[in-house]
Amino acid sequence: EAGVVQSPRYKIIEKKQPVAFWCNPISGHNTLYWYLQNLGQGPELLIRYENEEAVDDSQLPKDRFSAERLKGVDSTLKIQPAELGDSAVYLCASSFSYNEQFFGPGTRLTVL
Amino acid sequence: QKEVEQDPGPLSVPEGAIVSLNCTYSNSAFQYFMWYRQYSRKGPELLMYTYSSGNKEDGRFTAQVDKSSKYISLFIRDSQPSDSATYLCAMSGGNQFYFGTGTSLTVIP
């Protein structure tokens, strides 16, 4: 069974540019999560979807970050415009059960 | 005060040693306790998942939860170089989910 797929794996952009990350969850997993992970830190939840609905986006900086999960499968996370402090690893996870999350490899973003 | 506290290490042990990794927490609502392993440049991978207090064993790994002390542990027996990774504790309850900061472990051959 394929795991969580994320692309791109690495992205380097200049500040103020837009960037988008894509995630394809494990088939059958209704819940999808986007996390941000800084070096030496644990993942921090940005947004959680149940099917198409964003049920927890309280930690998403909505002035520059947006996300969508059309049709309740794939999801895209966008940053516009990117800032230097956005450099981090962006992780996507999916689950059938809230407590058993499966993570993708992450997208490592560098903002110059 | 952070919801979950975890010593970041780094921890370095010789091959074959018993490793003890720990987390403390403050939120009494947490009912589910997880341990994830994260290799460099990879996503976290779920290792163990326990509900409420008690022990759970899976091969060389044992997870312990002491809710009265708000303290959880992961023990690795007969540690191997392939166990070298960052270990993250995670907890959930009351629709909240938090990760610890992770402990970096190196097992030296």
Cα separation, B13 vs B84, whole angstroms? 10
Place of tokens 């997208």: A107
Q: Look at residue A72 in the predicted model and tell me its pLDDT.
A: 82
- Using the predicted structure, report yes or no on whether residue B87 has a pLDDT greater than 90: yes
Show Cβ contacts of residue B11 under 8 Å, excluding neighbours closer than 6 positions. B19, B21, B103, B104, B105, B106
What mean pLDDT value characterizes chain B? 93
Q: Half-sphere exposure (CA, 13 Å, Cβ side) for A52?
A: 3
Cβ–Cβ under 8 Å, residues B60 and B1: no
User: What is the β-pairing status of strands B71-76 and A102-103?
Assistant: unpaired
Chain B nearest-CA distance from A73, in A, is 20
CA distances B107 to A61, B11, B19, B104, Å, are 39, 8, 9, 10
Chain B residue nearest residue A9, CA to CA:
B41
Q: Look at residue B2 in the predicted model and tell me its pLDDT.
A: 78
Q: Look at residue A60 in the predicted model and tell me its pLDDT.
A: 94
Report the pLDDT averaged over residues A1-13. 93
- Using the predicted structure, report yes or no on whether residue B83 has a pLDDT greater than 70: yes
User: What residues in B contact A23, CB-CB < 8 Å?
Assistant: none
Report the pLDDT averaged over residues A13-25. 97
Q: Look at residue B46 in the predicted model and tell me its pLDDT.
A: 94
Question: Is B101 in contact with A40 (Cβ distance < 8 A)?
Answer: yes
- Using the predicted structure, report yes or no on whether residue A99 has a pLDDT greater than 90: no
Q: What is the CA radius of gyration of chain B?
A: 13
Cβ–Cβ under 8 Å, residues A21 and A76: yes
Q: Identify the weakest region by mean pLDDT among A65-69, A94-98, B17-21, B26-30.
A: A94-98
Cα separation, A29 vs B3, whole angstroms? 27
Residues of A near B (Cβ–Cβ under 8 Å) read 4, 40-45, 56, 91, 93, 98-106, 108
User: Pick from A45, A102, A104: which is nearest to B97 by CB?
Assistant: A45
pLDDT digits (tens, 9 = 90+) for B25-67: 999 889 999 999 999 999 999 999 898 888 999 999 999 999 9
Report the pLDDT averaged over residues A49-67. 93
Cα separation, A4 vs A93, whole angstroms? 7
Q: Which residue in A21, A38, A101 has the most chain B C-beta atoms within 10 A of its own C-beta, making it the best mutation to test that interface?
A: A101
- Using the predicted structure, report yes or no on whether residue A98 has a pLDDT greater than 80: no
User: Pick from B43, B46, B101: which is nearest to A41 by CB?
Assistant: B101
Residue B96's pLDDT band (boundaries 50, 70, 90)? confident
| SS3 state of residue A70 | helix
Chain A nearest-CA distance from B45, in A, is 7
Chain A residue nearest residue B41, CA to CA:
A105
* DSSP per position, chain B: --SEEE----EEEETT--EEEEEEE--TT--EEEEEEE-TTS--EEEEEEESSEEEEETTEEEEEETTTTEEEEEESS--GGG-EEEEEEEEETTEEEE---EEEEEE-
Chain B nearest-CA distance from A22, in A, is 15
- Using the predicted structure, report yes or no on whether residue A56 has a pLDDT greater than 80: yes
Residue A80's pLDDT band (boundaries 50, 70, 90)? very high
Cβ–Cβ under 8 Å, residues B101 and A42: yes
Sheet holding A65-68, edge to edge: A5-7, A19-24, A75-79, A65-68
